[in-house]
Amino acid sequence: MKDITTPDTTFVCGSRKYVVDNEVVDYFCDIYTVVSNIKLSGKTLNNLCSVYFSGGRNVALKQQVKQSSHYYNIYPASLAVDGTSDNCERVFSHTSDADANPSFELLFGTAMTVSKVRIFNRGGGASAFSLGTEKRLKGFEMEVFDSGSNVLFRYKDTKDVQMVYDLDVKLLRGATKINIKQKEKPPGETQPKISICELEVYGDCDNGFWDLDCKRCSGLCSRACHKETGQCQGRPIDKA
Ligand SMILES: [Ca+2]
């Protein structure tokens, strides 16, 4: 492993290596930009079986969410993080028609490092029920906060209407909250609305934490530990 090339720079990613077992090794590369090429090199590549690349897991899945208002309590915020994005015409979160300042908030249980946000918009089909409702998200705003309420990332939508918004947020450490606002009224409607089919956030626990609930790495680890196994990065600290 492991030259990774961006349009401007080549990174060598070999220092954070975890030998999972006799057949699997994981490399972590803290890259802050879009990658265009990945080159693997090494003596053992003639025995290579499979290669996987990952930008992290969906850390938004079934996390705590809330919205500023509810549309008759039948489209709760939780429908935006239920893991389902295959019926966006009918299953989504939805703020009230009477809410002049709608917002949607995702709270992580612990600090996360995130690299990408994907929003599946409501609508997109031909049914009268959802026809044109995708326009309601146009012009939305999104902010990512840390535990001190500092803004780590801010986005203002200026694109044409999208059914899926892919937002590269670089590599944000210490993210604890994502807030989505909508101040713009859709054409022909009297109030702005936020309706989300699914919100996905890709990343993992901050360095020094592991497992799905982000437990702290063992005090015996001199640096970080493996995100899935808790295995120390490099050699554990020798105990006296
Ligand atoms: Ca959903």
On average, the pLDDT of the chain sits at: 88
Retrieve residue 176's tokens.
């604890």
Is pLDDT at 10 greater than 50 in this prediction? yes
Using CB atoms within 10 Å of the CB of residue 153, give its burial: 0 to 12 exposed, 13 to 18 middle, 19+ buried. Answer: middle
CA dist., res. 8 & res. 52, Å (int): 24
204 Cα to the center of ligand 1, angstroms: 21
80 vs 37 pLDDT, higher one: 80
Is pLDDT at 220 greater than 60 in this prediction? yes
pLDDT at 90: 92
Beta carbons of 58 and 40 less than 8 angstroms apart = no
170 Cα to the center of ligand 1, angstroms: 24
78 Cα to the center of ligand 1, angstroms: 8
68 Cα to the center of ligand 1, angstroms: 18
What residues are neighbours of ligand 1 (ion), with CB under 5 Å? Answer: 79, 82, 84, 198
pLDDT at 2: 62
Q: Does residue 208 come out as left (phi exceeding 0), alpha (psi in the -120 to 50 range) or beta?
A: left
pLDDT at 173: 93
CA dist., res. 62 & res. 229, Å (int): 22
231 Cα to the center of ligand 1, angstroms: 34
pLDDT category at 1 given cuts 50, 70, 90 is low
Q: Which residues pair with 39 in a beta bridge?
A: 3
CA dist., res. 55 & res. 58, Å (int): 9
What one-character DSSP code corresponds to residue 240? -
Q: What percent of the chain has pLDDT over 90?
A: 57
Beta carbons of 197 and 92 less than 8 angstroms apart = yes
- Please compute the mean of the pLDDT values over residues 208-226 and round it to a whole number: 88
Summarised one tens digit per residue, pLDDT across range 19-29 is: 777 888 888 88
Q: Would you tell me how many other CB atoms lie within 10 Å of the CB of residue 45?
A: 10
93 Cα to the center of ligand 1, angstroms: 8
154 Cα to the center of ligand 1, angstroms: 23
pLDDT at 240: 44
85 Cα to the center of ligand 1, angstroms: 5
84 Cα to the center of ligand 1, angstroms: 4
83 Cα to the center of ligand 1, angstroms: 6
Residue 77 DSSP SS3: helix
Q: Nearest CA to 183 among 151, 230, 138?
A: 138
- Please compute the mean of the pLDDT values over residues 32-45 and round it to a whole number: 78
4 Cα to the center of ligand 1, angstroms: 34
CA dist., res. 178 & res. 164, Å (int): 17
- Please compute the mean of the pLDDT values over residues 63-77 and round it to a whole number: 95
Using CB atoms within 10 Å of the CB of residue 197, give its burial: 0 to 12 exposed, 13 to 18 middle, 19+ buried. Answer: buried
Summarised one tens digit per residue, pLDDT across range 107-137 is: 999 999 999 999 999 987 778 788 889 999 9
Is pLDDT at 44 greater than 80 in this prediction? no
pTM (predicted TM-score): 0.85
**In the chain, what is the straight-line distance between the N-terminal and C-terminal CA atoms, in Å?**
35
Summarised one tens digit per residue, pLDDT across range 150-188 is: 999 999 999 899 999 999 888 899 999 999 999 999 988
Question: In this structure, is the dihedral angle defined by the CA atoms of residues 59, 76, 66 and 172, taken in order, positive or negative?
Answer: positive
